[in-house]
Structure 1
């Protein structure tokens, strides 16, 4: 079995880029971090407390349709805050950059994801990745009525995942019943004219988007769709217009990990987004999408195992976007070359 320490030495940037070695590497990383017992499953929404803390999956999807996975990549869970990335893209398509920027900023806050705070000067929520900004973004989704808006949102998720989408009703009801903090944010934003629709209608759609069911493999494919300039690499369907990928990834880079965004950018260096069910996605533009699922969270609301896995993978393969020593880190090109040379072990999507 491959030793992860060999990858971390940094002596050979081309080491273990073949497809079979990648699968072995993921297995080693999974084994190494499965023993972590830090963190706790989220409980502020009652349905989240039912998650199995031992679930742990890692998945990489490439822009040419390969999938590499290890561990618990098939159990379903609710997407929660990771949904904000994709709804942000839909709102951009519906209204364009200027309109969206007039309602929601793009500045990191340093505050927790559920902080009840708006920009003092503009009265906008700070960015689309915190709850206040996500509620405002969701309120911008076009539709003649709530049903049409929900159907458009589900169709968008379907294009990213490549299959039909369902909402976990129990999670939706649980979040709606305990969502007073989000209501407080919404009413504050309505007071300043930052909501496009009525408070309860906006919140209802927001709670439903957070309750969309996914698994770790779905998240990797969704991230790979962003890496592939908006086209799902498994189906060929366009999920978001290429012109908005820059906007989406920029906000993920600066705001996707909340008040951990600075340290994440320093250590991992990839556009990313986390969710309180234990999922984290990250994007290597034009190459791969990565997803990790493990429910126990740290004090900032990010998966403990997930953060460690991404630090390991980024360092091992030189994926940090500002790591000039690795020469643009052609992760996917090395996989393709390995396949052409006849290396076995490809896990196909």
Structure 2
């Protein structure tokens, strides 16, 4: 199948440093809004006076502002990367085990699993990410090392690694994830040892990266599957569009519709306060502010992306 004609958005007329500077000023004037993810002890004390934003254009140029080089816990943002790895390993067979529909429920909900016989609604819910983790365990000889190598290759940073304090905190507070994994296992949709699946899942959520690393790590989704950082094709252009579509419809939990309305870009959030976003054929972005709204998304991170879309005209619509 030939690649489609790419409609290039001309960013040459945009003063990106000025736009980021304006957003930085606006966000810092609102510091203190939202609530940190205090149900994970290691995240409970992150101060609400941190904001970073970075973008990477198709040619690899980086623009950044604020605390863009300060590492933070990426949490569910990692689900984009593990989904890519699972699709690379088994292709469309993944969709026999995970659906592709928005959930309308919180990211850690178990409600639909019983009705749908252990098939998670999408790969970005915790339940779906656990099945994706199981697929990775079945198809990579050293899953943890494979994940680290993938993240380092995509970001260009050899410093990417797990925060052991966060990982320990995840294990100690992960009762719902433990219950979810065992519930899915009861339907036969987790094949490996449940504890091994959970350990991998907690590892991926505990990865520590900064905004520049993360913006680079999803650049392949803005370039039709080609990673400019490592000079390799990660996935086909078609698969890149599929991953972007899932980010649009399910990447910000049960706020995906609202996010699409106000921002209009595929995105994936994490309860550490980070959000990555993709402007196909143009750029990848990451914002970080640790205060969350009631859906578990960064409150001022969402605002920053909303303002960026307003000021640049970037949107998939």
TM-score by length of 2: 0.92
Displacement of 1:227 after TM fit? 0.6
Deviates more, 1:180-189 or 1:156-165: 156-165
Change (3 A) 1:118 1:256: same
Q: Distance in 2 between matches of 1:138 and 1:244?
A: 19
> In the alignment, does 2:246 pair up with 1:232?
no
Question: Are the counterparts in 1 of residues 33 and 48 from structure 2 also a CA contact under 8 Å?
Answer: no
Which residue of the other structure, out of 69, 73, 80, is the alignment partner of 1:74?
Answer: 69
Displacement of 1:17 after TM fit? 4.7
> In the alignment, does 2:20 pair up with 1:45?
no
Q: Distance in 1 between matches of 2:303 and 2:183?
A: 37
What do residues 177-224 of structure 1 show as CA deviations (whole Å, max 9, x unaligned)? 111100110011001111131111100000001111110111111232
Q: Distance in 2 between matches of 1:121 and 1:57?
A: 39
Question: Are the counterparts in 2 of residues 228 and 285 from structure 1 also a CA contact under 8 Å?
Answer: yes
> In the alignment, does 2:265 pair up with 1:260?
no
Q: CA RMSD in A?
A: 1.9
Displacement of 1:142 after TM fit? 4.5
Match of 2:135 in 1: 140
Match of 2:56 in 1: 61
Match of 1:126 in 2: 121
Displacement of 1:113 after TM fit? 0.7
Q: Distance in 1 between matches of 2:81 and 2:235?
A: 9
> In the alignment, does 2:231 pair up with 1:211?
no
Q: Distance in 2 between matches of 1:173 and 1:237?
A: 34
Give unmatched runs, 5+ long, in structure 2. 1-8
**How many residues in Structure 1 have an aligned counterpart in Structure 2?**
306
What do residues 67-105 of structure 1 show as CA deviations (whole Å, max 9, x unaligned)? 0000000111121000001100100011111x1111111
Displacement of 1:241 after TM fit? 4.3
Match of 1:250 in 2: 245
Match of 1:8 in 2: none
> In the alignment, does 2:115 pair up with 1:115?
no
Displacement of 1:291 after TM fit? 0.8
Match of 1:155 in 2: 149
TM-score by length of 1: 0.83
Which residue of the other structure, out of 175, 184, 195, is the alignment partner of 1:180?
Answer: 175
Give unmatched runs, 5+ long, in structure 1. 1-12, 323-349
